[in-house]
Amino acid sequence: MQRRQFITSVAGGILAPMIYHPAMANSNTVNVIVFPGAQNLSMWVALEKGFFKSKGVDVQLTYTMNSTELRDGLANGKFDIAHSAVDNSVAIVDYKEQESVILMGGDSSLNELFYQPELKTLQDIRGKVLVVDAPNTAYALQVKKALALAGIPDTEYKLNPVGRTALRLEAMQKNKENTAAPLNPPFSIQAKQAGLKSMGRLVDLVGPYQGQGMFAMRPWINQNAAIIERYISAWILAVRWSLNPANKNEAIEILTKNMKLDPFITEQSYQLLTTPGFGLDQDAQFSQKGFDNLLSIRTEFGKGRPLDEKKLVDLSFYERARKSL
């Protein structure tokens, strides 16, 4: 019931964008698209504690169904900013040949690899079905790498691309033929409650990884430098507030309010979000080691074209915003 309530609440955000400041569009309005999940704590904090407002930024927030919708919406100008696995930004450059640019870090992906309780070891995934968001980006590639390191090539299992994390968990619960999937909080916590097994954290299985981050299209970036810096400075303040132990109880309340789940689940989510090296990055710093690993995994499994790494990331706005604080 709690999981269904969360999916229902998120579906409402997809049918009609969640507008926190219902003013007419202006130069201070930013249209942002994200995946639902606990990783949005900094976004919710920045909205509810007034960090965006203090920097003169109005945010219109939409939750996406899957990576394809997110990438298409950003590339087509429907949205200005995305917070998601930054591999999606690389995919826009790779597959659409449009200039999407990563502007800030976020987290490690917060993913664990879950599989059905009937399986005895990871090797039992051979010949089975792996549930993913989209087959050629981000966490699907991260899991492919984990399985390859375990000696399981991607020719020995099938992919079932169903979309965002809630749908992956639902697919595993409805059909045991959906053998494994990468899940992050709160869905990873719900998976454990449902009896699914965790093979471990993906950063432990494949090494450092730049998971969620902020990215936007270069034409929009070139026209909105000032608001980008103000947006990032508000985000950094929200991350600092979120990671401050003194704010733990209020942070859990914000998670509970926005995810509409039991406080136990949101408290467990908060513990994961504040775990060093796994949860939210300090000041939303970009992990170069994590990004290098991401690109290496893309080269191995994404089968994309060679890209100029210098054009994929621009941290100049982030550095100026951070110095301003």
Say yes or no: 8 and 34 in one domain: yes
Please tell me the distance from the alpha carbon of residue 289 to that of residue 66, in angstroms, as a whole number.
26
* CATH number of the domain bearing residue 195: 3.40.190.10
Say yes or no: 217 and 313 in one domain: yes
Say yes or no: 102 and 230 in one domain: yes
Say yes or no: 190 and 232 in one domain: no
Please tell me the distance from the alpha carbon of residue 10 to that of residue 228, in angstroms, as a whole number.
26
Q: Which residues form the domain of 197?
A: 112-206
Please tell me the distance from the alpha carbon of residue 4 to that of residue 261, in angstroms, as a whole number.
10
Final residue belonging to a domain, choices 183, 206, 229: 206
Say yes or no: 105 and 116 in one domain: no
Q: Which of 35, 14, 33 is nearest to 78 (CA)?
A: 33
* Average pLDDT of the chain, as a whole number: 90
Final residue belonging to a domain, choices 173, 206, 239: 206
The pLDDT tens digits along the chain (325 residues) read 343 333 334 333 333 333 333 333 447 999 999 999 999 999 999 999 999 999 999 999 999 989 999 999 999 999 999 999 999 999 999 989 999 999 999 999 999 999 999 998 889 999 999 999 988 888 999 999 999 999 999 999 999 999 999 999 999 999 999 999 999 999 999 999 999 999 999 999 999 999 999 999 999 999 999 999 999 999 999 999 999 999 999 999 999 999 999 999 999 999 999 999 999 999 999 999 999 999 999 989 876 667 888 899 999 999 999 999 9
Say yes or no: 267 and 144 in one domain: no
Question: Own/partner pairs for 47-55, CB < 8 Å, 24+ apart?
Answer: 47/20, 48/254, 49/238, 49/241, 51/234, 51/235, 51/237, 51/238, 51/241, 52/231, 52/234, 53/21, 54/234, 55/230, 55/231, 55/233, 55/234
Say yes or no: 170 and 313 in one domain: no
- Other CB atoms within a 10 A radius of the CB of residue 275 amount to 13
Question: In this predicted model, what pLDDT tens digit does every residue of 13-55 receive, in sequence order?
Answer: 333 333 333 333 447 999 999 999 999 999 999 999 999 999 9
Whether 191 and 114 have beta carbons less than 8 Å apart is answered as yes
Cβ neighbourhood burial of 308 (10 Å; 0-12, 13-18, 19+): exposed
Say yes or no: 139 and 237 in one domain: no
Whether 261 and 2 have beta carbons less than 8 Å apart is answered as yes
Q: Which of 29, 202, 51, 185 is nearest to 113 (CA)?
A: 202
Say yes or no: 214 and 90 in one domain: yes
Say yes or no: 144 and 283 in one domain: no
Final residue belonging to a domain, choices 206, 225, 248: 206
Question: In this predicted model, what pLDDT tens digit does every residue of 239-276 receive, in sequence order?
Answer: 999 999 999 999 999 999 999 999 999 999 999 999 99
Say yes or no: 102 and 227 in one domain: yes
Number of domain units in the chain: 2
Please tell me the distance from the alpha carbon of residue 40 to that of residue 32, in angstroms, as a whole number.
12
Say yes or no: 20 and 50 in one domain: yes
